[in-house]
Amino acid sequence: MNLKILIYDIENSPNISYTWPGSMHEQNVIDIKENWQLLSVAYKWLGEKEVHCISKQGHKSDKDLVKKVHKLFDEADVIVAHNAVMFDNKKCRAKFLEHGLPPPSPYKTIDTLQISRERFSLNSHKLDDLGKLLGVGRKIKIQEGFELWLDVMADKPEAWTKMIAYNKQDVVLLEKVYLKLRPWMDRHPHVGLGGDGKRCPKCGGTQLQSRGQRRTIQGFYNRYQCQSCGGWSTDRLKIENSPSAKLTNPG
């Protein structure tokens, strides 16, 4: 069965807190009046055309939104987000905990920010800059800046329309960046049926070209390059009549 890959992005409100007068950028928080909340979550399943968005529009609490996000996590085999490890996933889990939800079923995380930083020396690893570099699009520019978040928190319909469009475009861009980075990922979960090297583990493509053999401590394995995405893969089954037999069974 093919993996269910969830591509998502969150928008959240800031904390509302009490502070003593002083420097705007050096504040000691006395107390938090209102904890941050999830505002909206845009997502799509890899392979579908439509981008969805769920929000807390019209509600004081984000509880219903969080329940829907929890269900998405529970259904997913793989979750893709930009800065997933340090931000998006942690924020969502924090809300699951706050609202008394159990851990969702296990899933693999692909963090495109982390992958970009690990694999490439680029001037910027921001999603918008990656989109520009790879020629796949840009984020929506928000002219209002933080004012848009304030208007959304005030539940203004026109602000919600802009926020949801902004959130959805991030997911559109994220998917394109993810697909460009995917052939370079060493530990991507196998997306195709089986795992015998006859199907590309990164994109599921069947146009594999034999590219010699890979040698490991265990022996020799056939190696392939996908003609669809360019990714490399190796058979999981060892070549029995390879020179490795001499290494493992001397004499």
The pLDDT of residue 242: 53
Q: What angle do CA 36, 40, 46 make, to 5 degrees?
A: 130
Closest to 10 in 3D by CA, of 68, 89, 99:
89
Which residue ranges make up each domain of the chain? 5-184, 208-248
**pLDDT tens-digit profile of 11-35?**
999 999 998 887 777 778 899 999 9
Closest to 198 in 3D by CA, of 175, 226, 171, 166:
226
- CB atoms closer than 10 angstroms to residue 67: 14
CA–CA dist 159, 181 (Å, integer):
33
Question: Which residues in 27-58 are b (16+ Cβ under 10 Å) and which e?
Answer: eeeeeeeeeebbbbbbbbebeeeebebbbbbe
Enter the pTM of the model: 0.86
3-state SS string for 17-62: EEECCCCCCCCCEEEEEECCCEEEEEEEECCCCCCEEEECCCCCCC
**pLDDT tens-digit profile of 49-105?**
999 999 999 999 999 999 999 999 999 999 999 999 999 999 999 999 999 999 999
Closest to 182 in 3D by CA, of 31, 71, 44, 78:
78
**pLDDT tens-digit profile of 106-151?**
999 999 999 999 999 999 999 999 999 999 999 999 999 999 999 9
Instruction: Could you please state the CATH topology (level 3) that the domain comprising 5-184 is classified under.
Output: Nucleotidyltransferase; domain 5 (3.30.420)
